[in-house]
Amino acid sequence: MRTLYTFLIATAALWAMPRNAHGQLYVSPEFHAPGFVGKYNARTGAEINANFITELNVPSGIAAKGNILFVADLINGTVGKYDAKTGDAINPNFIAGLSKPEGIALLDNNLFVTNLDTGTVGKYDAKTGATINANFITALSGPEGLALLGNTLFVTNLDTGTVGKYDAKTGAEINASFITGLDSPVGVAVKGKILFVANNGSGTIGTYDTKTGIAINANFITGLNFPQEIALLDHTLFVADSGAGSVGTYDTKTGVAINANFIVGLNFPVGLAVKSGK
């Protein structure tokens, strides 16, 4: 009876995931030498390859586009370019000379990268790695996460507890203090009119209006243990919970946990990216 009950619970948890939420989930544990990126099934959490990309230093931000994976290496000061299917390096030094790169975001053929030490966001050609503007946005304070909504770029500032809003084409400031009063914001993601922000200090995920910055629910998800990067696929929010050594899944409408222990046994997971399809 216990075996049947366990099977039914596991089946229910699996079906709670959206039917089209298949694809790959990429995760980078930070405190591990040498660093690596793992690849997992985005619908089941099953391990595809825990050492999908290796020989990194301290991998942080990850971004996926088509069959390409971009990985920021915090200590090496680089963004590497990899095959998202095989993990093979296309160019591990695709962009070099960065200053503790953390967050990565893609818009068309533009790659945006936060530099933690210099307080900047750089803009690069996603095909060639050529610099478009290394100081695309400046005067930030501990920039970490990036999210795009059309031509609007959102940037989290760890030190000031803010999220800034900028023009993704020009870098012009729309509102540098778009959201304030946060507790060490790191990861950020956008779905429709909602901005999700991970607060590393308070262990929460808050939701905010993308037009006004007004809080919809500052405590949308609570009880996390140092959340880092977050990612979206359909109606599922993936959260890298560094303190818990796990990746959890949550309902984007309600904040209810689908599976808080979707992937476990990780070593301080920080970077996170999800790619739909096979």
Is residue 14's pLDDT more than 50?
Answer: no
| Global pTM value | 0.91
* Contact present, 226 and 243 (Cβ < 8 Å): yes
Which two three-digit tokens encode residue 181?
């009063």
pLDDT the model gives residue 220: 98
Average pLDDT over residues 243-252: 97
pLDDT at residue 22 is higher than 80 = no
Cα separations in angstroms, 22 against 42, 64, 236? 6, 15, 11
Q: Per residue in 105-122, pLDDT tens?
A: 999 999 999 999 999 999
Residue 8's contacts (CB-CB under 8 Å, 6 or more residues apart) are: none
Residue-level pLDDT at 34: 82
The pLDDT, as a whole number, for residue 30 is 72
User: Residue 203: pLDDT above 50?
Assistant: yes
Mean pLDDT, residues 238-264 taken together: 97
Question: Residue 277 has what pLDDT?
Answer: 75
Distance in angstroms (rounded) separating the CA atoms of residues 274 and 129 = 22
Q: What whole-number percentage of the chain has pLDDT above 70?
A: 91
- For residues 17 and 258, is the Cβ–Cβ distance under 8 A? yes
Per-residue pLDDT, averaged over 261-273, amounts to 95
Query: Is the pLDDT reported for residue 4 higher than 80?
Result: no
- Kindly report the average pLDDT of the chain as a whole number: 91
Mean pLDDT of 191-200: 97
In sequence order, the 6+-apart residues with CB closer than 8 A to the CB of 246 are 260, 261, 262, 263, 264, 265, 266, 269
Dump pLDDT digits (tens) for 133-150. Answer: 999 999 999 999 999 999
Residue 99 pLDDT exceeds 80? yes
Per-residue confidence (pLDDT) for residue 33, from 0 to 100: 64
Domain boundaries along the sequence of the chain: 2-276
Label residue 19 by pLDDT band (50, 70, 90).
very low
Residue 3 identity: T
Q: How confident is the model at residue 276 (pLDDT cuts 50, 70, 90)?
A: confident
Helix (H) / strand (E) element for 7: namely helix 2-16
Mean per-residue pLDDT, 51-80:
95
The answer to whether 198 and 227 are in contact (CB under 8 A) is: yes
Domain 2-276 annotated CATH 2.130.10.10: yes
Which pLDDT band holds residue 156 (cuts at 50, 70, 90)? Answer: very high
Element housing 266 (H / E):
none
Say if residue 17's pLDDT is above 70.
no
Judge whether residue 197 has pLDDT over 70: yes
Report the SS3 class of residue 214: coil
